Every structure is written in C-alpha cells, then in structure tokens.
Chain A
Amino acid sequence: MSLCVLEDVWKTYTLGDVRVDVLRGVSLSIEPGEFTAVMGPSGSGKTTLMNILGCLDVPSDGRYILAGKDVTHMSDDELSRMRSEYIGFIFQSFHLLPYATALENVLLPTLYVERRLDGRRKRAMELLALVGLGDRAGFKPSQLSGGQQQRVAIARALMNAPRIILADEPTGALDSGTAKDIMNLLTELNRQGTTVVVVTHDPEVAGYARRIVKVRDGVVVEDTETASKAGERPVHDALLA
C-alpha cells in the first residue's frame, strides 16, 4: 500500500479578486522506503506540495490519503494528530527553539503525543548520538554551527518515529561540505527504512534520491527513477551505530 497518495490535488489561493492556482491537478503516490527529490523552479509550488504532504495544509480540491487515512477533510486537531504520528519535518532554517537546549529541542514533539512517555530522554539522547551530537545535548542553538543545528532538527524530526521525513531545502542554508554530511545522514536514515522526501534546487542534492519529481507551474512534468549516488559514497555507518 502506498504511504502517500495525492489524487488530482489542486491548491488555490485567492488574493483579493485574483485566484491563483498554485497546484493544478497533482497526482502522485509515494511508496514506503522511497527517497524522493522534488525539483522545480522558484514559485512552482514545491513548498505548497510539501505542506499538503505534511498535513500542514489541505487541498482545495482533490484528495490526499496518508497511511490509508483520507486527510482531505480532517479538522485542524485531527491534522495535528496526523503530523504528530506520521510526519517529521526538516526546514531550511532549522527552526529550533532558541531558548531550549539541543536535548530539549529533540524532546519537543513528545509534548504533543498521546502515547506513553517512558524512556523519552533515553531515546532523545540516542538520536542525538545518531546524528553525531551526543556530546552537545546541553548546548543552545546559538552555540551550535548551522550543520549541527540541522542535525538537531533531524533528531527532532525522528523523535516520534515518523513514517515519512519531509525536508524543504534542508541544505539551503549550509555550505556544500556540510550539505553533503546532512544528505549522507538522510540517506542512512532512508537505508534504515524511513521514507524521505526532499525539496531542492540543487542537482547535487537531488542526486542522493532514487526518484526525482519535477514540478512546473503547479503540475508534475517529470517523474523518474534514478540510480542513487548514495550507493557510490562511503557510508557513514558510525552515525547509525
């Protein structure tokens, strides 16, 4: 069964009298375990598509089914619940709470889940170790480099054991060396079974994915399987030890 199914999804914004169709009939399905890159020119609707995939927004028309559940007409609270259970977000500008430590940032998603909280600190510490920041748990974001902050954000995204990681230009604010580290980390997570969708302009970044979806003017214009670059790279097994 597909993890995400978009069926003829439209997203329309009305600005005054002007209607803007940002997504114009996108149909797309994402299978468990896939590593997908979404590419396209600026303003083509990539972020809008991600927001719908991540249940931050709902289609104006069409249907979206996540993990077998029709999300299209869910209430705000139900959408929150879906995000909490299935989605891990990674943003271009990290979006860590400035006043909380790395560990507290990683723990943030547990505040809003209904299941039991046993072992949450242990899991958060393990995730920090996984992203290579086991010794920085008590650091504030301002005391960490951009790459380290994005690692904390990745650990946070993993905290609730999501079915899918959605990353909107995760390397957009990083230099190319650090960007490679982050992409290697995402590749490792994907190898472990997490479904990953990355929005990017950067062909280098898209090269890590095994499927590339190209969007233009709110429609999917190309959807191709590729040989992942990841296979050619030395794998950082230590990160997942």
Chain B
Amino acid sequence: MMRFWLKAADAWRAVRAYRLRAVFCSLSVALGVGAITIIVAATEGAYKQAYDMVDRFGPDALLIFGESEEARATGRREKNITVEDVEALRQAFPTAYLVVPMSNRGDMIVAYRNRKHSTRLTGTTADYSRSWSWPVTEGRDLTEQDVKGLRNVALVGRTIVQELFPDEDPIGKSIFVRNLAVQVVGVLEERGSTGPGHNLDDRIVMPITTAMKKILNEKDRVQAVRMRFVDAKRMEHFEAEVRSFLRKRHGLQEGQPDDFRIVSPREIVKFLVALTGSLVVFIGVTGLLSLVVAGFVLANLFLLSVNERIPEIGVRRSVGARRGDILLQFLTEAVTLTAVGGVLGFGIGVLGGPLLKHAAQFPMHFSWKAFAVGMMTATLVGVVFGMQPARKAAAVHPIEAVRKGS
C-alpha cells in the first residue's frame, strides 16, 4: 500500500514537471468530460422532471380533453365532452375510483374589498384535493353538497391568498369572482411553478356546477375529465379502453380522428424525454468527438514525452524497474492527467449547465452519477490512449536508454 502511494507521488511529480503536456492533456479531456457531464445531468434532469410531473399529475390518472388534436393545434375552442359523457364513463369504468369533470377559464377577475387579481378558475366536483393529490392545508375541501347545491364556495391557491389576503385569514371571507359573491372555504398547499407563466398556485377552485351555470354560462359541456384508476400498472390498457368507449359514444367511424385528447403519464414522460433526447444526441456527439480528439492529443504528447525521457526510463530500469513498472508509471501519469481533466470537466459541466438551463429551459440535475460517469470516461481515455505510449516506454531496452546522452 505504501509503495502504491510512493509510486503515485512519483507519477504526480512527473505530471507536474511537464507542464505543457499536463495543461493540454487535462484541458482537452476536460472539454469532453464537461459535455458528458451535461448530458448525464440533462438526462437525469429530464427524467426527474418527468417523474415529478407524473407524480403531480398522478401516475394512475388520465386527463381527457374535449378537443381534438387538430383543434388544439389551430387554437380553435372545442368542447366535445358532455356532462352525460362523464356520467357514462363513471358507470362504465368501475376500475376508476375517481371520475372528475373540470372546466377551466383563465383571466378571471377575483376581488376582495379594494384588492383585485386576475387568476384562473377551475370548476370541479367534490374531492378536488384527492383527485389531484393536492392537500387542502387550511379549511376544508369541496363536498358533494357544494356541487349538488350549486353553492358559492371556493378553494384558493397560495398566490390568491398573497394577493387578496396579505394579512388576513382568508377562510370564511367573501370574495367576488366576476360578479358572483363566493365564500372561501379552503386553501391549497403551495405547489410552485412548472415554468414561467405556469404558476400552479395562482388559481381558484369552485364546484363545477356553480362555475358552469353562474360564471361560464355553460349548460352541459365540460372542458376535461380526470379519471384515476385503482391499478396504476395497467394505464395503457385503461387508456385504450377509454378511447374506444368515447369513440363509440361520439359515433366516430374507423379512420376518423378522435374528437378528444387523452393525456397519460406515459405521454408526459415521452414528451419530456424526447425534448431532452435531441439535445443529448447533439451534445453527446460533440462530447465523444472531443474526447477522441483529447485522446489523440494525449497519445501524441505522451509519445513525445517518452522519447524525451528515454534516459529517465534507462535509469529507472537500471535501478530495478521492470517493464511493467515503466508501463504502469506512464499509464498512471496519463490517468492522473485525464482524471484532473475529469474533475475540471465536471466543473465545466456544473458551470455550463445553468447557462443551458437558462437558454433552453432545460431541466438539469447534477448528481454523483454525472460525476461518476465523467470520471469513468476520463479514466478510460487515459488508459486507452495512454496505453500505446506506455507500452513504447516499457519496450525501451535499458541499454539504449542509458546510452542516450552519455
């Protein structure tokens, strides 16, 4: 063990002695490793974000919008799901423990005394908190009675509390939603935002009956239905069943597109990972190329170094170094340099990552994994590209070596 450290110290001396070689080798490796670090962090970040979103969305949930893919793409408003559709889904899918209709509307003015705020209204049935796994932290959730009785009650998000009730308890207070007086019965837990303009806490939640009839002027059309199933493992199966059920109900022929849209956890993951994928490929190719370039830089500089240090090799051999010792010495030097490059590269990744995150709205997650992958690649570059020069050094005959310069 002690001898190992002595040899490491010996290699470290040589590494430091040949500065130019050290700088070029480690910097070129650092660039490649930086790219690799970013890839790993981006991939991890994408999956983490995807799973966070799925978690929030509900891994056992489907969200069915009453608009076709085409309508969504062109920005046309469609509401193809009726209150009866929702009831029929509830009847047809006993495996769904929740079937909740929703109607959303943005730019909804809410007011309390002289304070005003524009927010997003969500109309839903009882148990909003359960169907979105979104706890009510103060007050109570919406109830069956609220919905049946078209009661003027609401849950509010944190942002509304901040805007309308900066220093008051909102529970029990009466606010105006457009022209309707509504009582606040509960406050939702803080959720934060999923990106700019997506502040999840900026919302007010009311019984869907009240919202449709008294605010949205909507008779029987809902915007979306949310379903949660008991068995989260069979979501693909449920998605297919819901699709064919609704197609049949809406009288769609074979070949006609859906007049609704189903969002599933799987789709969320797919979307985010695909988004990340293209960047990963780009950076990956760049990273690998720069690692190969770094490898050749290293191999060439080490070959020069071996030629320059033939007398040194001779002396080491003359005092008892075996071929293997010389091989190991040069490999250790190579790996030391690439490892230094690896650490620098991780630094580059950590510094460069946020830039990318900023510029491309890219989720990024630096963990020990990114570091480990970076260090492993760096070590590999050192071993692979240091091998040939090291073998050349080991093959130098001690006589040739001591003859040089004497």
Contacts and interface: CB of A to CB of B under 8 A. Distances in A.
Contacts of B14: 99
Contacts of A81: 320, 322
B392 to A, nearest CB: 16
Given A95-B402, A168-B406, A112 B315 contact: no
Nearest to A52: B399
A84 B319 contact: yes
A57 interface: yes
Contacts of A160: 319-320
Given A57-B399, A95-B314, A95-B402, A111 B322 contact: no
Interface residues of B, number: 30
B84 interface: no
Interface in B310-364: 311-312, 314-325
Secondary structure type dominating chain A contacts: mixed
A56 B317 contact: yes
B241 to A, nearest CB: 72
B315 A97 contact: yes
Interface string B381-406: 00000000000000000110011011
B10 interface: yes
Contacts of B325: 80, 111-112
B13 A109 contact: no
Interface stretch (A23-31, A85-93, A205-213, A232-240): A85-93
Contacts, number: 86
B2 interface: yes
A8 interface: no
A77 B13 contact: no
Contacts of A77: 322-324
Nearest to B314: A95
A80 B318 CA distance: 7
Contact of B320 (A57, A95, A113): A113
Contacts of B311: 93, 95
A119 B55 CA distance: 63
A112 B320 contact: yes
Interface in A164-195: 168
A92 B13 contact: no
Contact of B321 (A80, A93, A104, A156): A80
Q: Which 4 A-B pairs have the closest CB atoms?
A: A84-B320, A99-B17, A109-B319, A112-B320
Given A77-B323, A91-B402, A111-B325, 10 more contacts: A80-B317, A80-B320, A80-B322, A83-B320, A91-B315, A96-B315, A100-B13, A111-B3, A117-B3, A117-B6
14 contacts: A77-B322, A80-B321, A80-B323, A91-B406, A93-B311, A95-B312, A95-B314, A95-B405, A98-B17, A99-B17, A104-B13, A111-B6, A117-B2, A117-B3
